[in-house]
Structure 1
Amino acid sequence: MDRKKILIASPSDVQEEREIARRLIDEWNHLHKEREQLDLIPVMWELDAWPENGDGVQETINRQLDIGNCDAVIGIFWTRIGTPTKVASGGAVEEIGLLEKAGKPVMLYFSAARPPRYGLDYGQLQQVDEYMADCQKKGYLTWEYQDPADFEEQLRAHLHKMVTDKFCHSSASGRPEDVRTPQLTRYADYRQLLRNRLTLLVDRGIDEYTDIEIPLEEVFIDLHIEERYGKKISHDDLLKQTFYGKCPTNVLLLIGDPGAGKSTLLQHYAMRCLEGRHHSLFPDAAEVRVVFIELRRLVFDDDRKQPLPLAEQVVSSYQALSLHKEEVESWWPLQGSAEKMLVLLDGLDEVTESERRQAICDWIDEEASVNRNRCFIVTTRRTGYAASEGIELKGTHKSATLADLDKGQQKKFLRKWFRAATAYEQENGRRRSDESSPEEQADALYAYIYPEDNQSSGELVDDMERKRRRGVQEIAVIPLLLKLMALLYKLRGYKPDSRISLYRLVFKYLLHGREKARKLALDIDPEQSETVLAQLAYTMQKQMRLDCSEKEMKDSMELRFRSQNTSVTLDEFFTFIVGRSGILKPNGEAYRFWHKTFQEYLASREMARQSRSSDDFVGSIVRHFGDTAWEWDETLKFYFAQIEDRVFDSFMEQLFVAGMATDVLDNNLQLMQTMIREAKEFSVTALCGKLNDPEIALRAYWHV
């Protein structure tokens, strides 16, 4: 087997990209090593250097890494050129120059991300610009990328092309020919790439921690699916009922709230089939091939305003494999054969334009009707699928909804997650954040959430605290938030006392903590950032919008931003929020909050701020309380968890008035109960006063 050494050369400000490059080299080996009889070896100082005295740092690195015998180099630059050496402006520049002189392939990448204002060395940045200009004058084809995700997508395609062109040869070189049919050989490559992408769940790190990578199957738990009339079944039984039941169909619409685990369940189904563990899902299938596509990335035919055929979508989504449409079409099982194809389509709700969502539904109907051996599962939030607006599947299909986690599922997930996270710490040589066992950590967090289930702990919980814990229990049923609680507890020992306290810490972390640890944080504190974003979120809520253009967002934030004491510009702030924080994300030509709950939480922060300065603002909330078109239930829950007792009293005083429409309370009883439970100060002054008010309608007493 031939071996080629690929040097990864860069200064210290692109650590994430360096790790991506190493991972993509490993990925290439997984996909092509045996077939090509070629092993790519990543060369990095982190892996291959060791402490040693010598003539100079760079000379020692050059010798230890055997730079001169590397076969190609991937060079990556952003804001730094590096530490000057005896012969070059930086160590990476010297390493690249050595391979250039030897006639080796050189792949140069320059980040186009806006550099951070805080801690930036403008001299270093200027040298990077000069180096890029010099390379281009020499005739180099350099490449710019927007962010780490863009870098990964570009390098994956470029690496394969470079290696194929420079290092791969025909079967005459002595490598054994592949005895499989060509189309299945290519599917095997695709299958391996898909496994690499779906195997791990990555949890965001905090402070000095980088991301925690956990194998999906080590933490996945059985999910319950809610059918009509409240009946619940397992996710395995759901597929059998859909594809083999009394009224079988080959299309399943899976609906779930934000954070309910829709995408994770698709990953689980995919991994079961990719690894040959599909028999409990498809008992009659000898093999189940898998296609996984994010619907927001579908490619459309602009003339017909329809998505391209499924085979062309696979080619577009996995360009690194250089597939052809005819190859992919040959993967489809023949009608009535022993093979099946599972087509997983994730995130209908993430497609902004309603016309495109309807076009996608029509496309799914058409693709599913061609071959019954192709089984489709489509995920969406409730808001993304609206039959009243024409956004619906018209062909035969089954609909099901993901249920909340029950207490048994929560306990099982916590135990599995803490075991996997602890194993990851140990495997990567990290200091344990807690010396207790994973089971003890999981049980301690569960006991905090459900003190009534753990009387042996000796914890005394009064009535007030029980009410707070009920708020925690409401968020623990959501897989995404339960995982976040586990992460914060493991790394900080943090136990939220409410949903609002959990979101506050999440936003402080997203706005400051993670990038501060990477020395990329802006010179603006998280409170200032949140104040500016709260103004934007509140404006969008009032306009009932989820998407805005960059200009509209900046116009909404500009006045509030100017009042902040910071040297950061609004352009720099917006770039940071979109590119680094994970709070805003591009959506086509527009932008939106990463999760709708982010917008609702931030809007509530602005409402709470305005309530403190104006009683009239509380009156506006009362006037909208029964407005079904307003749709601010989640925002109101956040809002009432933050306000002072006098504001809560003011709301009750203005809501319960003579001649009030009690049907408003009838329609919003559950919301009222939640708001009273969430209320920060649990004030009862106004409520008691209304009980003694003879002018209040008798029916209103029951609600009070």
Structure 2
Amino acid sequence: MTRIRLVIASPGDVTPERDAVEKVCTELNRQLGRSNDFAIEVYRWETDSGPGFHVKGPQGKIDQDLPISDCDIMVAIFWTRFGSPTLLPGGETGTEHEINLAFESWKKNQKPQILIYFKNEAVDWDEIDADQIARVKNFQKEFRPGGRYEQGQYETFSKIDDFKDKLRQHLSRQLPLHGNAAPSSGFDFDGYRTRFGYAPKWDLSNIWVAQAPGDAPVSPTLEQIYQELRIAEKFDPGQLSLGAPLSVEDVAVLEDRILLIGAAGAGKTTWVRHVFYRLLQRNDVCPFLIELRKLAETLQGRKVTGKARSLVSYLEAALEELDCKAQGLEDALKDRAGPRPILLVDGWDELGSLGREFRQKLASFVRSYPRVGVIATSRPYGLEKPDVDDGFAQRYVQPLNDEEIEAFSNRFWAICYGTDPKHAESAQRFLAALKSAPSARAPARTPLLCTMMLFISRSRTLPDERHDLYQACIEHMLSAYRREEAHVPGMAHHWRPEKMNERLRAAAALAFAIHAEGRGDRNQTIVLSARKMANLLPGDCEEHGPGFLAWLAGPAGLLTDRSDGSLSFAHLSFQEYLAAWHVANVLPEDQQSFDKWCTVSRWQEVLRLWAAIMWSGRRERFAAVAEQFLGSSEGLCALGGMLADGWGNPELFRRWLERFLMLVETCPPRQVSECGRAWAGCRQTQRRDEFQDAWNRAVQAGRGSHERGRSSSAERQVWCCRARPVKLRRAIGESKVRGTVLWDGYGRSRLRHGRRSPGRLPSARRGHRLDGSWGCGSKLS
């Protein structure tokens, strides 16, 4: 085995870059070293020089321990420091001395090859040594004609990823000089990289958001806007810190093959395009991208038989169609000396019934070319996806968390407005709109929908109210075109009604029917088989049911299709809003239905969204339902949620508040808890304060009359419903009565059981609390 000795020389202000050199060498050893019988050995003073004494001082000890003059490659890095002085004559710093030793050896023996890098990242001038930075600049000038190092050249970089990419390329070019054989396949790697190595544009074909008049077009490169995706071994939307990005460096050295699974709009295709482009910048790997939708069309649309249906034949034909030489491709896939091939396979779910055939072809491909790394992507429902038996590890794309949404939106607005003050204002306005409507944050966790919302907010203010936001997003989703060219066997032809209003009505009718299919009191996404869901479509869509569902799950992205062929709405919020729209615009006015829905938890959000729609246009209908709700304890809680959202006039609110305080003890615990959560998130400051004041007055009155042995019915209700203090500011605000709280809005307040209160107050009764729990009353402390 050929051992290639590499020495790192640098001052102490570039420690991350020193570590990066070792990581890059480890990658190259794993990728190229084993097959070419070489190993890069990295030497650095931190790990290869120990304590001791030397007549020439510490630098003499380092010279003794590190093979500086006899190494094969030296990597030297500078930023703001030139190094510490040594005991050597001439006042050389340690780094300068090591470079000069290597340089004198190169002049005699043409080795080592010296790779020198200067970091040009911005610095805080108040924290740097002016003399040190001046010496760095003077050293850099020595590479000019007439300078000491005029025979050489250096490289600059700004970020550590930039440094790693450049170092990887430069080292790869040096390796053939030190025992690595040049690729023998005959494939034109340089021509291939040149043909496909352009920076890809950000693909907005699935957004369908019209450009606002006067707005500058948004056309950034993918690299400018790209948001890293977290990837994990499981998918849990409730854990927003799960997983970590799968970097290009990780992909390049992966030994496991990976199936990357994500829902519609999760960012799989964007991730593949980003990785493909970044891999093209490296000399140690060569990526190939197959879009399976195009492959399926090719295999189905042409009379392709025999060897022509193989993956290698498809890759060769695809390269030739794009005027790229395919000669030597098969040899390049087999070659153990050249760049490692990485195959990126995007869109397994678009294969339809061809999934089984392609799975067999892929299995044969990896057996024939075991050095090739493979990553495939799919929605959960892809047929015949590769699994662990095929050597594929399944990984899942995770939803965006709050920090990632903020970072993505900041880049978006920076691209739209650059340094214009509008950038910061727009970003803050967008994030404030999401914060003010927490339920709107769920769609924003999907990259595609987050992008859609950003474009909506660019052309007009992102709606403050969540129902307006849902309406805007759904309208744009329902504007998606049919994919006319998708005639893949096993996949339904896409169909949609011609008029937008017809699409909205059909989608709303479906959402209402699905929501009505729910069982029990749980508020969750409802999953149905495609056949059953097709049966729930309105009559005018029955004939085209499968095609309409395929369109909703495909270009529109309103539905999500699953691995077992079942379907559900992509987000529960969209299902609830469309169900509310159907109730408001289609269903007859049936008070009995409202009386039934107000007792079921899964209908509470639908009723609140219905109230928002009605208050915007048909207030008389809202008033009629509100009057009916005032007459029942279940209806009181449902109406409380609507009023907490700001709907209804002040008179209705005051009437509701009076009755609620009178009857709260008779209300079902779960409904009271849901009402409490609505008020905990209330943004109507005046109503919230009025509610709090009324509550505190009732508690004070209840305490006073309780201690005097007298209490009214209303006071007894409130007294029995109080709970001990728990994070009051997270609920409705600081209580003026020490020791009281309404609820914390999270179901966490608990009342300790205490001794029975004196007087006539029936505190021994198991009283109902506003957090939905039950317990005996106890004296305030």
Q: Quick check: which has more Rg, 1 or 2? A: 2
Give the TM-score category using the shorter length.
Answer: 0.3 to 0.5
Higher relative contact order (CA 8 A, sep 6+): 1
Give the alignment's TM-score, normalised by structure 1: 0.46
Give the alignment's TM-score, normalised by structure 2: 0.42
